[in-house]
Chains A and B, each alone.
Chain A
């Protein structure tokens, strides 16, 4: 079984709809991240969390919110989806350590906003 899972894997929605993307992990990691990937732009960090009570904004948090429901679960919400949020979304995890460690990625959610 995959260590980091994301649901749904694909989603098509309409402008103005509220969307939630979910991420679960079985790696026992404290740190979790949400990225978006657009063609030619690499990965950009949306939000990250270092434990259940910790939420931090990344580079592009506007229009997004997150919830860390448990150590193993980190959800990303689009309160009112717009077409330029069409992208590939990835969740990632890493262990808490004294330095920046390897990140483990989920398979991604392809979101299309019409």
Chain B
């Protein structure tokens, strides 16, 4: 069964705008990860945030984690057309065994 649930399912914005995607989950976690998938291609890891972290940055990406609300957000600032992709969150459900549980993803479209 799915662990993360991304919201919204689809997001359409203009270049230069910020894009915010949310992920909710149901169990305790050790860490939460965000991945990106260009159409029909393999997923690419973007960022990992541990359960004891509240915010993490990587370039134009900002991820927050609120373990009390079991939610995370991914903010992409100053979006570009090349950011058009699907974005997935994944959690480990508190296990250290290496399995990840993915959500259904948010499809982001950035118009030039």
CB within 8 Å of B: which residues of A?
A: 4, 31, 33, 35, 40-45, 48, 50, 58-59, 88, 90, 92, 94, 96-108, 110
Contact = CB atoms under 8 A, between A and B. Distances in A.
Given A41-B104, A42-B88, A42-B105, A98 B96 contact: yes
Nearest to B86: A42
B43 interface: yes
Interface of B: 1-2, 30-31, 33, 40-45, 48, 88, 90, 92, 95-105
A108 B33 contact: no
Q: Is the interface of B mostly helix, strand, loop or mixed?
A: loop
Contacts of B41: 107-108
Contacts of A106: 42
Contacts of A108: 40-42
B102 A105 contact: no
B95 A100 contact: yes
Contacts of A88: 40
A104 B40 contact: no
B90 to A, nearest CB: 8
Given A88-B40, A99-B96, 19 more contacts: A4-B42, A31-B98, A35-B102, A40-B104, A41-B104, A42-B2, A43-B102, A45-B100, A59-B1, A90-B43, A92-B43, A94-B98, A99-B30, A100-B31, A100-B92, A100-B100, A102-B48, A105-B43, A108-B42
